[in-house]
Chains A and B, each alone.
Chain A
Amino acid sequence: MAKTLAQEFVKGLWEEVPPFRLVLGLCPTLAVTKTVENGLGMGVATTFVLVCANMLVSMLRKVIPGKVRIACFIIIIAAFVTLVELLMQAYTYPLFLKLGIFIPLIVVNCIVLGRAEAFASKNNVIRSVADGLGIGIGFTLALGSLGAVREIFGAGTITFWETPIQLMPASYQPFAFMVQAPGAFVCLGLMLAVMNLIGSK
Chain B
Amino acid sequence: MREMIQMVVVLVVLGSVSGGLLAAVRNGTQDKIENQQLKFVKGPAIASIMEGASNDPITDRFKITVGDEEKSVFVGKFDGKPNAIALETYGKGYGGDVGLMVGIDMDTDKLLGVGVTTHSETPGMGAKAKSDPSFVSQFRGLAVQDAYKVGADGGQINAMSGATITSRAVCSATTDAVKIFKEKKSEIEAKMQEFK
- Do A and B assemble together? yes
* Interfacial residues of chain A within 165-201, with CB under 8 A of chain B in the complex: none
Closest beta carbon of chain A to B127's beta carbon, Å: 16
Contact of B29 among A63, A72, A87, A94 (CB under 8 A): A87
Main secondary structure of the interface of A (DSSP, over half): helix
Residues of chain B within 8 A of A83, CB atoms compared: 21-22, 25
Q: In the complex, what distance in Å separates the CA atom of A68 from the CA atom of B11?
A: 8
Closest beta carbon of chain B to A69's beta carbon, Å: 10
Verify if A160 is at the interface (C-beta below 8 Å from B). Answer: no
Given contacts A93-B39, A94-B40, contact A79 B22 (CB under 8 A): yes
Determine whether the beta carbon of A82 is less than 8 Å from that of B22: yes
Q: How many residues of B contact A (CB 8 A)?
A: 19
Contact of B14 among A75, A82, A89, A91 (CB under 8 A): A75
Given contacts A86-B25, A87-B29, contact A75 B15 (CB under 8 A): yes
Verify if B6 is at the interface (C-beta below 8 Å from A). Answer: yes
Q: In the complex, what distance in Å separates the CA atom of A76 from the CA atom of B7?
A: 15
Q: Mark B19-60, 1 if CB is under 8 A from A, else 0.
A: 001100110010011001101100000000000000000000
Verify if B132 is at the interface (C-beta below 8 Å from A). Answer: no
Determine whether the beta carbon of A76 is less than 8 Å from that of B40: no
Contact of A76 among B6, B18, B36 (CB under 8 A): B18
Determine whether the beta carbon of B22 is less than 8 Å from that of A67: no
Determine whether the beta carbon of A97 is less than 8 Å from that of B40: yes
Residue of B nearest to A89 (CB): B33
| Category for how many chain A residues contact B | 20 to 34
Residues of chain A within 8 A of B40, CB atoms compared: 93-94, 97
Main secondary structure of the interface of B (DSSP, over half): helix
Residues of chain A within 8 A of B3, CB atoms compared: 65, 67
Closest beta carbon of chain B to A61's beta carbon, Å: 12
Q: In the complex, what distance in Å separates the CA atom of A90 from the CA atom of B18?
A: 19
Verify if A101 is at the interface (C-beta below 8 Å from B). Answer: no
Given contacts A64-B10, A67-B3, contact A79 B18 (CB under 8 A): yes
Closest beta carbon of chain B to A186's beta carbon, Å: 25
Closest beta carbon of chain B to A148's beta carbon, Å: 26
Residues of chain B within 8 A of A67, CB atoms compared: 3, 7
Verify if A1 is at the interface (C-beta below 8 Å from B). Answer: no
Q: In the complex, what distance in Å separates the CA atom of A90 from the CA atom of B21?
A: 16
Determine whether the beta carbon of A93 is less than 8 Å from that of B37: yes
Q: Which positions in A face B, CB cutoff 8 Å?
A: 60, 63-65, 67-68, 71-72, 75-76, 78-79, 82-83, 86-87, 89-91, 93-94, 97
Question: 30 pairs across A/B with beta carbons < 8 Å?
Answer: A63-B10, A65-B3, A65-B6, A65-B7, A67-B7, A68-B7, A72-B11, A72-B14, A75-B11, A76-B18, A78-B18, A79-B18, A83-B21, A83-B22, A86-B22, A86-B29, A86-B33, A87-B25, A87-B29, A89-B33, A89-B36, A89-B37, A90-B29, A90-B32, A91-B32, A93-B33, A93-B36, A93-B39, A93-B40, A97-B40
